[in-house]
Amino acid sequence: MSRNGPLALIFHTIFVIVMVAPILVVCLVAFTPEGFLSLPTNGFSLRWFRAIANYPEFIHAFWVSLGLGALSSFVALLFAVPAALALARYRFRGRDALAALFLSPLMIPHVVLGIAFLRFFTSAGLGGSFAALIIAHVIIVFPFALRLTLAAATGMDLSVEMAAVSLGANGWTLFRRVTLPLILPGVISGWALAFIQSFDDLTMTVFLAAPGTETLPVRMFLYIQDNIDPLVTSVSACVIAITMTALILLDRFYGLDRVLAGKGDTGR
């Protein structure tokens, strides 16, 4: 029962096709049996997926990205959860300024962050190290971890906590047994969204990665700079598949609209 007219539906159809086309074409070209970029017209082949195995840089970069995403999102949550609880519960002087500071990585162009971190970590003697990447990624994923945790903490019924306190729970027990379980969906989604952001970042990471700590987007980007061949499409197809899986999981866990709505607001 759509209330849209035919013109609107035509517009919508074209819009959706254009939105999907570039992603679809990457996935299709990845299955080409030819040795050059082409749509698979003579049957599908997995040769370019097998070819990834002969290109250890991509495999290594994938593990770097995975470890980096998982670890930096986790570390970001260690800082973000207490901060979110403070921002959700208390009205104190400097609260707005703090919130603005914590969300500022969204407003600062990643190219600027990349340059700033490159300068900083080189001076600190950490240039090109995995540790430097982790710290930098903690900063850029922090706002996402904070937002979803904050949303969960704000929505939480405080009287539940008061009830727990009246029953004798306090401090760490209160947090572990009552608060954390209640905000957990937000925390997990915050982790997932942070992971995706870290996994996808090119602009900042391209400044910081050295051979050996190159992430998958960086490796793909450098590869494309030299030449575009079906290998990079099959790698991209894998990345798209991984993201889609994460998306579906996120949707099951939390509802994608809520995650994305949180994300949409952040650019302000």
Partner 1 sequence: MSTAADERNARAPWALTAPALMLFVGVLLIPLAMTVMLSFHDWGQYKGIEPVFILKNWHEIATDPYYAEMFWRTFRIAILTTLLTALLGAPEAYILNRMSGRWKSIFLLVILGPLLISVVARTLGWALLFGGNNGLVNKLLMSAGVIRSPIPFMFTETGMVVALAHVMMPFMVLSVWAALQRLDPQIENAAMSLGAGPVTIIRRIIMPQIMPGVLSGAIIVFSLSASAFATPAIIGGRRLKVAATLAYDEFLNTLNWPLGAAVATLLLVALVLIVVGSNALIERRYAEVFR
How far CA 56 is from CA of 62, 216, 222, 236, in Å, comes to: 10, 12, 15, 15
In the window 39-78, what residues touch partner 1 (CB under 8 A)?
Answer: 78
* Residue number with CB closer to partner 1 (20 or 180): 20
In the window 75-94, what residues touch partner 1 (CB under 8 A)?
Answer: 78-80, 82-83, 85-87, 89-90, 92
Least CB distance from residue 1 to partner 1, whole Å? 5
The whole-angstrom separation of Cα 8 and Cα 6 is: 5
Q: Which two tokens stand for residue 87?
A: 């921002």
Q: Which of 1, 41, 43, 252 binds partner 1 (CB under 8 A)?
A: 1
The 145-184 contact track toward partner 1, x by CB under 8 A, reads ----------------------------------------
Give the closest residue to 66 by CA, choosing from 74, 56, 78: 74
Least CB distance from residue 210 to partner 1, whole Å? 11
Q: b/e for 13-51, b at 16 or more Cβ within 10 A?
A: eeeeeeeeeeeeebeebbbbeeeeeeeeeeeeeeebbee
Q: Which of 149, 179, 213, 233 binds partner 1 (CB under 8 A)?
A: 233
C-alpha dihedral (243, 246, 250, 251), degrees to nearest 10? 70
Least CB distance from residue 262 to partner 1, whole Å? 10
In the window 204-223, what residues touch partner 1 (CB under 8 A)?
Answer: 206-207, 217, 220-221
**What are the phi and psi torsion angles at 219 (to 5°)?**
-60, -45
In the window 108-137, what residues touch partner 1 (CB under 8 A)?
Answer: 108-112, 115-120, 123, 135-136
**What are the phi and psi torsion angles at 125 (to 5°)?**
75, 20
> Taking the mean position of all CA atoms in its chain, how far away is CA 85?
22
Least CB distance from residue 157 to partner 1, whole Å? 19
Least CB distance from residue 162 to partner 1, whole Å? 13
- Window of 17-25, 40-48, 53-61, 183-191 that interacts with partner 1 by CB under 8 A: 17-25
Least CB distance from residue 10 to partner 1, whole Å? 10
Helix axes 130-155, 180-200, angle to 10 degrees: 140
Q: Which of 131, 165, 228, 249 binds partner 1 (CB under 8 A)?
A: 228
Least CB distance from residue 95 to partner 1, whole Å? 7
